Structure 1
């Protein structure tokens, strides 16, 4: 009986501890990213009153690239068929959060973070040449497929609040990251001399600035290698989850 009475006396304290945000763990899902069919999840653990560690995972199935108008302006080449451009991605984002106000994983925070991302691409490049045998010239598309990997570091600001007893609302206000990237894209198909020349000419016209862009075209297809800076924006995210 004494143990039961002691437990009953402690229940209000445990309830208040939850409301005050003393739970050390939180798991969340990013609701705003679902609009772009991007599935983003994160885990956060408090290590002191004002500091926590977090790990995020993001994945987007391969499909039509979002913001095709922006992508078209970046590539700036009519020889790339943006309407058939396909992209998917995955990313891991470890971070450290410093809470500036209430602490205990509540209030405004600043979060230095790293991002390790992989982008799965299919980039169709047009070329016009005779297929041989006296046939008239036709326009074809070389579908370059492969991956671009980036490593970046950045900083984000946001605010996190507790709802009811177990829910948490985490709002990413604005952030950005910068780093480096490397990629390899390949196209495999038999090419005659005219087709090789036409594809080589169109690849030469693509301006990939600020990336470095090298290519090789031969009788069995073509390869593209790229490397250069990588930048991104992280923000306008609404995350909901629960803490425990």
Structure 2
């Protein structure tokens, strides 16, 4: 009887160990993104001793941005780093922004624990699509009378980039993990489109010409990079050459479930 119990106990421990080893997949929720009203999940699968592949995606509906004052400070900081447009006359706290993104990545885990636990180096690609209603204002004049135009701009930004990131994933019990994106950077290209479909047919050509010049002056538009059209249908802006995109990725916290 004791011998049979010992055999059953050994089989149970073996099965449990094997099951733990076979828990090579993790489904995660990004907690820090949730604080920004963005739903982001990631699926990670282990391949080999030190490697894993992951795919992440997220979505945010178009609405006012939380922590709008902090966003305004970030945009003002970024404004000084961009040499083809300025956002000084954008009503940032009134802007409604939505987005979705896709992030494939490959991870290499250091140390003896092996994937998916421990410190890792991630090579990742990232696609972002931002869209929103961004109100701007322009001070100009019409027939000698000062006029402030309030323009709602339908804005779209698309970025594709490649980068590196350091992170660390911790085990929480047998089933859960805590994944910390420590810090990383990514570089790529950005595609810009903005339009404000205002009916300008009631204004003369001189007004539309002056309005175009005023928009270029107000927003410091570099026409080597961005093309601006002002006609009877309104205002449109698009990039006329490739624009560089540089950003940070990190300080993210993810709760995962292993299976």
With the shorter chain as reference, the TM-score category is 0.7 to 0.9
| Contact 1:72 1:82 (8 Å CA) reproduced | no
Alignment of 1:75-90 (within 5 A): 75=79, 76-90=86-100
> Which segments of 5 or more consecutive residues in structure 1 lack a partner in the other structure?
none
The question of 1:96 aligning with 2:97 is answered no
Displacement of 1:22: 4.1
Displacement of 1:237: 1.0
Spell out, residue by residue over 1:204-231, the C-alpha distance to the aligned partner (whole angstroms, 9 max, x if none).
121357x922210001101100341111
Spell out, residue by residue over 1:71-106, the C-alpha distance to the aligned partner (whole angstroms, 9 max, x if none).
134344543322323322111000000011111311
SS in 2 for 1:34: helix
Displacement of 1:128: 4.1
| Contact 2:138 2:215 (8 Å CA) reproduced | no
Distance (whole Å) between structure 1 residues aligned to residue 171 and residue 140 of structure 2? 63
* Aligned CA-pair RMSD: 2.8
| Contact 1:129 1:195 (8 Å CA) reproduced | no
Displacement of 1:9: 4.5
The question of 1:233 aligning with 2:248 is answered yes
88, 101, 120: which one pairs with 1:109?
120
| Contact 1:80 1:124 (8 Å CA) reproduced | yes
Spell out, residue by residue over 1:126-177, the C-alpha distance to the aligned partner (whole angstroms, 9 max, x if none).
2345678x9x654221222131111100001111122111111111111110
| Contact 1:18 1:166 (8 Å CA) reproduced | no
Alignment of 1:1-244 (within 5 A): 9-18=10-19, 22-65=22-65, 66=68, 67-75=71-79, 76-101=86-111, 102-128=113-139, 137-191=146-200, 192-193=203-204, 195-205=207-217, 206-207=219-220, 212-226=225-239, 227-244=242-259
SS in 2 for 1:68: helix
Displacement of 1:124: 2.3
Displacement of 1:182: 0.8
| Contact 1:88 1:120 (8 Å CA) reproduced | yes
Displacement of 1:68: 0.9
| Contact 2:75 2:87 (8 Å CA) reproduced | no
TM-score, length-scaled by structure 2: 0.81
Displacement of 1:6: 7.6
CA 77–156 in structure 1, closer or farther in 2 if over 3 Å, else same = closer
Distance (whole Å) between structure 2 residues aligned to residue 95 and residue 220 of structure 1? 43
Distance (whole Å) between structure 2 residues aligned to residue 7 and residue 213 of structure 1? 73
Residue 82 of structure 2 is matched in structure 1 by none
TM-score, length-scaled by structure 1: 0.86
